Amino acid sequence: MPLTFSAAEDWRNPLRDPRDKRLPRIAGPCGLVIFGVTGDLSRKKLMPAIYDLANRGLLPPGFGLVGFARRDWADQDFMEVVYEAVKEHARTPFRQSVWDRLAEGIRFVQGSFDDDAAFDSLAETVADLDRERGTGGNHAFYLSVPPSAFPTVVNQLKRSGLATPPEDVPGQWRRVVIEKPFGHDLASAKELNKVVNDVFPEESVFRIDHYLGKETVQNILALRFANQLYEPIWNANYVDHVQITMAEDIGLGGRAGYYDGIGAARDVIQNHLLQLLALIAMEEPVSFRPADLRAEKVKILSATRPTEPFEETSSRGQYSGGWQGGKKVPGLLEEGGFSPDSNTETFAAITAEVNTRRWAGVPFYLRTGKRLGRRVTEVAVIFKRAPHLPFDDTATEELGQNALVVRVQPDEGVTIRFGSKVPGNTMEVRDVTMDFGYGHAFTESSPEAYERLLLDVLLGEPSLFPKNDEVELSWEILDPVLEQWGRGDAPPLEKYKAGSWGPASSAEMLGRTGRHWRRP
Amino acid sequence: MIIDLPSTTTSRINSKLVHLREEGGAVTLGRVLNLVIVTEDGERTEEAVDAANDASREHPCRVIVVARGARQAAPRLDAQIRVGGDAGASEVIVLRIYGELAEEGASCVIPLLLPDTPVVAWWPFEAPKVPAEDPIGQLAQRRITDAASEQDPIKALEQRRAGYTPGDTDLAWTRLTTWRAMLAAALDLPPHERVTAARVTGAADSPSTDLLAAWFAAYLDIEVSRATAKFSQGMVDVHLSRPSGPVDLARPDGKVGTLTQQGQPPRRVALQRREVRDCLSEELRRLDPDEVYEEALKALGKIVRVDTASAEAQEPAEAGS
C-alpha cells in the first residue's frame, strides 16, 4: 500500500512526477552489512530477499553486501553461500546477469564480535566499497545475532567509527536493524533501547517485526480506512469481542537456546499480537506518514491493559507428546536442549481491554502456541447478536455470531460469516461464509515480508517498524501477566496434547463470559 | 482442463462456465478484471495467452481472447474454455470468430464480461488506428497496444500520439520503466544540477527510444537528440549533460548497462529487455490514465533526429564545457 515517504529535500528532481506511479523507489547508493550470516534467517530469508530486490531492479547499482562471521571464509566462499541460498530460496527466477552484478559487491569479513581488529577490517571493507562500488557512505547493519551480543556489536560499531557517518559529507546515513526479542520485560527492553540508542539515534534504528511486512497486515489498514462498509460498525456498539490467534503446528526442537525461559508470551504476544491489536483497534491516522501512523498506534497501546484477575483471564500451557498430523512427536520436556523440568510455556493466552470510547467493554483475546492444531494467524472480529430476532428459537438455533476474519497466513484473505436461510419451506437460518482469497492468486507474486522491510530500511522509510516507545508500551501491557505467572502461588503450568488447541484453561477463560474460541 | 465448444453461442459458453463452477469449484469469484486480447487467429495467439496467464498470477482475471479468423468463411463462433492448470490463476475463454462475425468481436465479448469489474483490452500485435474508437476498445477502461510488434513501429507510435485518449498505453512505454527508474534515481543524487542537453541512442525502429527521448523533452524542457545505433536492438544509450559532468547509461549488448555519473565510480546494472509478461503485469497494476505517458507522447514532436556521425562529433565539444 502506498505509504508516503518521509524524505523531503529541497532539490526537486524534474524527472519525478507524482502522477508517475510506475517509477519504483530505488534505494540510493548503499550497502548492507549482515552480522550472523551463517544463521538460518540469513540464508533462508535475508539473502534471497536481497536477490529478489535486485531482480526487481530496486537495489541501487553498485550495491554492496558484506557478511561478518567467525568462519574462516574468503569473499569467494561467502559468495558461494549466498549463491546457494539464492538458488534455493529466492522467490523470483534466477537470472545470471542480475546475480553477476550482485556478486561483484559481495564481501566477507572474518572475526568475532570482541575482536577489534576484525571491526577495523570491516571499516576498511566498507570504505573500499564506497570507493570501488560507489555505496556513497550509506550503510545498514543487520544484527541477525542473539540479543546478548547486541551491546558488544553496537559498541564495536561505535568504536570503529562505523556507527556514525562522516560529518563533512551531509546526507550520508548509517542504520541498524535489530530483530526480536526486544528484551524480556520492560526493564530489559529499556536497557536494550538505551544500549542501541546510545550509539544510533532512534530514527536510525529499525526493529524488524516481519509480520508488519506482510501484505495482509498492511491490508488491514486498507480494509478499515479505504472502505465505508466497516467503519460504522467497528466499535463497542456492534463488536462483541476480538480474537487474535497465531498458532504454529511445529514444536521447538532445536530452538531451546533461544526459547527456554522465554516462552510464548514474550516470543509472540509482546510483538506480533500486540502490533496486530494496535492496527485493528487504532483510530484513523490523519495521514499515512510514519509519524502519524505511529502516533495512533502509541495511543491505542497506551490505552490497552491486561484484564484482571489474571487467574481467570489468562492461560498458559506446555505441549506434551502425542500424535500430530500422522507423526509421533515429543513433548517439550523431551525436546533436545530443554531442561526436563522446564517451566517454559509454549501456549499463552491473555485478555486485554482497550480503554477508549470506541472499545470500552470489548475484550481482546490474544493467544499463541506451538504444536497446535494447524499453522494459522488470524484476527477475528466477532459481532454482537442481532438485538431482536423476529424468528422463533428453532429457526435460529444454528445461527452463530457474525464475524469478520482477517486471515494473515496461510491462505491470506478475509472471510465474513453471516446467517442465511437454508433452502426449503421452513424458515431456518444457518451460518455461511463469504470468502475473499487474497492468497489464492496474489501471493505468488506479492513480495516476501523481508523484501519489503529490507527495502524500507535502505530507503529510510520507518512506517512498518515498531519504535522504542511501542516496544516499551507492549511490555507494560504484558509485564503484569508475566509477573503473576512467575509468582510462587500461581497455578502450575498446564499440559496440553500436541495437535490440540491448547490447555483446558484456555477454553475456560472465554467460557466464563459465555464465549468460545473460534476454531481457525 | 480445456473444453471445446465448436460452433456455439455466448449464452452456451456462459452456461458452461456456470456449470464448471458448480461442478469443479473452478471459481469465477475473486477475479479482479477482464482482459480482452484481440489478435488475428494464428500461431502467435498462444504467446499472448501464455503471457496473460503469467500476469494473471498477480492479477486474477478472466481472459477473453478474440481470435479473428478468415473473413471469407461462413460466420461462425468456435469457443474454448480453459480453467485450472491450463489457465494460470485465470480462466481463459478463446473465441475464434469467422466470416462477417470477425468484424463484430465486441458482440461476442459483451455477454462474457464479469459484472462490475474493469475491462482491459490488449492488442499484442497489430492495433487499430485509434484504439479508443474500436468497438472492443470502447468497452475497456484501459487499452494496451505494442508499437514494437507492429509492422512499422515508428509509424505506429505516431498513430498513438494522434489517437491518444486517456486510458491508452503502449508496451514500448512499459519497457522503459527500468531505464526511467534508474535515470530518475541518478538525478536524485548530488550534484543537483540542471540537465542542459540530452542524447538518446537506439535502434532506428525502436519506439521505446523515441518515447524516452520524448520523456526527457517533456520533463527536462531541453532539446533532446535522438541518434540511431546501427547494429543494436532497442535502447542503447542515454547521455544527459550537466555542468559538472554527464550522466550516462549505456547498454550496448542488450543485457548489462553501465551507469556513469559525477562523483560515483562507473557501475554496472542488470538491464535486460523486459519480457511481455512482466510488462503486462505492470500494465494491469493500474487502471487509471497514465498522464506521464501522455506527456511523453505529446513531446514526440520535440525530439531532434540526428545521424550517428554528428552525434559523436558533439562529444569533444561537450567534454570541454
Last residue in a domain, options B145, B169, B195? B145
Q: What is the mean pLDDT of residues A215-228?
A: 89
- Give residue B317's pLDDT: 38
Look at residue B118 and tell me if it is in a domain. yes
Residues in A closer than 8 angstroms to B265, CB to CB, are: 62, 131-134
A18 in reach of chain B (CB within 8 A): no
Tens-place pLDDT, residues A364-378 = 999 999 999 889 999
Number of domains in chain B: 2
Q: Is residue B44 situated within a structural domain? A: yes
| Residue A442 confidence (pLDDT) above 70 | no
Question: Which residues between 54 and 73 in chain B have a beta carbon less than 8 angstroms from any beta carbon of chain A?
Answer: 56-60
B13 with B101, same domain: the answer is yes
Same domain, B263 and B222: yes
Sort out which chain B residues have CB atoms less than 8 A from A15's CB and list them: 180, 183-184, 187, 215, 219-220
| pLDDT-derived band at A322, boundaries 50, 70, 90 | confident
Alpha-carbon distance of B206 to B200, in angstroms, equals 11
Confidence of residue B22 (pLDDT cuts 50, 70, 90): confident
| Interface predicted TM-score of the whole assembly (ipTM), two decimals | 0.80
Q: What is the pLDDT of residue B50?
A: 82
Residues 237-256 of B with CB under 8 A from A: 255-256
- Interface residue B272 vs chain A (CB under 8 A): yes
Question: CA–CA separation, A345 vs A318, rounded Å?
Answer: 5
pLDDT of residue A28: 85
Cell numbers 464475524 label which residue? A403
Residue A363 pLDDT: 96
For residue B126, what is the DSSP state?
A: S
Does residue B159 sit within a domain? no
pLDDT score of A8 more than 80: no
Confidence of residue A387 (pLDDT cuts 50, 70, 90): confident
Check pLDDT > 90 for residue B60: no
Cβ contact B189–A136 (<8 Å): yes
Q: Which one-letter amino acid corresponds to residue B158?
A: E
Q: Is the pLDDT of residue A458 over 90?
A: yes
**CB–CB of B272/B266 below 8 Å?**
no
- Cβ-Cβ contacts under 8 Å, B188 against chain A: 11, 13, 16, 28
| Full residue range of the structural domain in which residue B275 is found | 177-319
Out of A97-101, A362-366, A406-410, B76-80, least confident range? A406-410
Residue B127 lies in a domain: yes
Give the end of a domain, one of B145, B165, B195: B145
Domain annotation covers residue B86: yes
* Contact residues, chain A, for B195 at CB < 8 Å: 14
Q: Which residues contact A88 (CB under 8 A, 6 or more apart)?
A: A48
Q: Do the beta carbons of residue A31 and residue A64 sit within 8 Å?
A: yes
A-chain residues near B30 (CB < 8 A): 436-437, 440-441
- pLDDT of residue B210 exceeding 50, the answer is yes
The stretch A372-393 carries a mean pLDDT of 88
Instruction: Determine the average pLDDT of the residues in B138-165.
Output: 93
Cβ distance B221 to A14 less than 8 Å, yes or no, reads: yes
Residue B127 to chain A, least CA–CA distance (Å) = 23
> What's the pLDDT at B29?
54
- Among A262-266, B33-37, B119-123, top mean pLDDT goes to B119-123
Distance CA B291, CA A249 (A): 50
Residues B113 and B191 in one domain: no
Q: Residues B9, B141: one domain? A: yes
Over chain B, what is the mean pLDDT? Answer: 85
Flag whether residue B45 sits within 8 Å of chain A, measured between CB atoms: no
Indicate which of A11, A13, A22, A432 best probes the interface with B, i.e. most B CBs within 10 Å of its own CB: A22
Interface of B with A in 287-306 (CB under 8 A): 290-292, 295
Q: Which residue has the higher pLDDT, A269 or A2?
A: A269
Tell me whether B270 touches chain A (CB under 8 Å): yes
Check: CB of residue A119 under 8 Å from CB of residue A78: no
The mean pLDDT value for A418-443 works out to 78
What span, in angstroms and rounded, lies between the C-alpha atoms of A312 and A440? 39
> Quick count: other Cβ atoms within 10 Å of Cβ B298?
14
Average pLDDT over residues A46-72: 90
B121 SS3 class = strand
Residues B10 and B134 both lie in one domain: yes
Taking the C-alpha atoms of residue B144 and residue B158, their distance in angstroms, rounded to an integer, is: 15
pLDDT given for residue A351 in this prediction? 96
Nearest by CB to residue B265, choosing from A98, A100, A133, is A133
CB within 8 Å: B182 and A26: yes
Residue A261: CB atoms within 10 A of its CB come to: 14
Residue in A184, A241, A272, A516 annotated catalytic: A272
Gap between the Cα atoms of A382 and A364, Å rounded: 10
The answer on B251 and B127 residing in a single domain is: no
Same domain for B299 and B192: yes
Distance from CA of B89 to the nearest CA of A (A): 6
Burial class (CB in 10 A: 0-12, 13-18, 19+), A178: buried
Which of A19, A132, A442 is opposite residue B58, by nearest beta carbon? A442
- Judge whether B206 lies within some domain: yes
Is residue B305, in this structure, part of any structural domain at all? yes
B45 and B139 housed in the same domain: yes
Of A500, A214, A229, the closest CA to residue A367 belongs to A500
Same domain for B193 and B135? Answer: no
Contact B60 A61 (CB under 8 A): no
* Shared-domain flag, residues B121 and B188: no
Which of B130, B145, B160 is the endpoint of a domain? B145
In this prediction, residue A4 has a pLDDT band, given cuts at 50, 70 and 90, of very low
Average pLDDT over residues A291-298: 92
Residues of B in contact with A91 (CB under 8 A): none
What was the pLDDT predicted at A386? 87
pLDDT at residue B19, rounded to an integer:
83
From the number of C-beta atoms within 10 Å of its C-beta (0-12, 13-18, 19+), residue A259 rates as buried
Is A184 a catalytic site residue?
no
Are B314 and B219 in the same domain? Answer: yes
A2: which chain B residues are within 8 Å (Cβ-Cβ)? none
**Residue A148 at interface with chain B, using a CB cutoff of 8 Å:** no
The pLDDT value given to residue A317: 93
Residue B114: pLDDT band with limits 50, 70, 90: confident
B200 and B119 co-located in one domain: no
Q: If you ran DSSP here, which 8-state letter would residue A45 be given? A: I
Determine whether the interchain pair A444/B190 forms a contact, defined as Cβ–Cβ distance below 8 Å: no
Q: What residue in B sits closest to A61 (Cα-Cα)?
A: B269
Q: Is the pLDDT of residue A166 over 70?
A: yes
Residue A437 scores a pLDDT above 80: no
The average pLDDT across A326-331 equals 86
Of residues A356 and A180, more confidence is placed in A356
The whole-model pTM stands at 0.83
pLDDT of res. B308? 62
Of the pLDDT bands very low, low, confident and very high (cuts 50, 70, 90), residue A1 is very low
Q: Is the CB of residue A57 less than 8 Å from the CB of residue B178?
A: yes
Q: What is the mean pLDDT of chain A?
A: 88
Check B60 against A26: CB less than 8 A apart. Answer: no
> For the segment B121-147, what is each residue's pLDDT rounded down to a tens digit?
999 988 999 999 999 999 999 999 999
Determine, yes or no, domain membership for B96.
Answer: yes
- Measured between CA atoms, the residue of chain A closest to residue B29 is A436
pLDDT recorded at residue B249:
93
Task: Kindly state whether B182 is in contact with chain A, defined as any CB-CB distance less than 8 angstroms.
Answer: yes
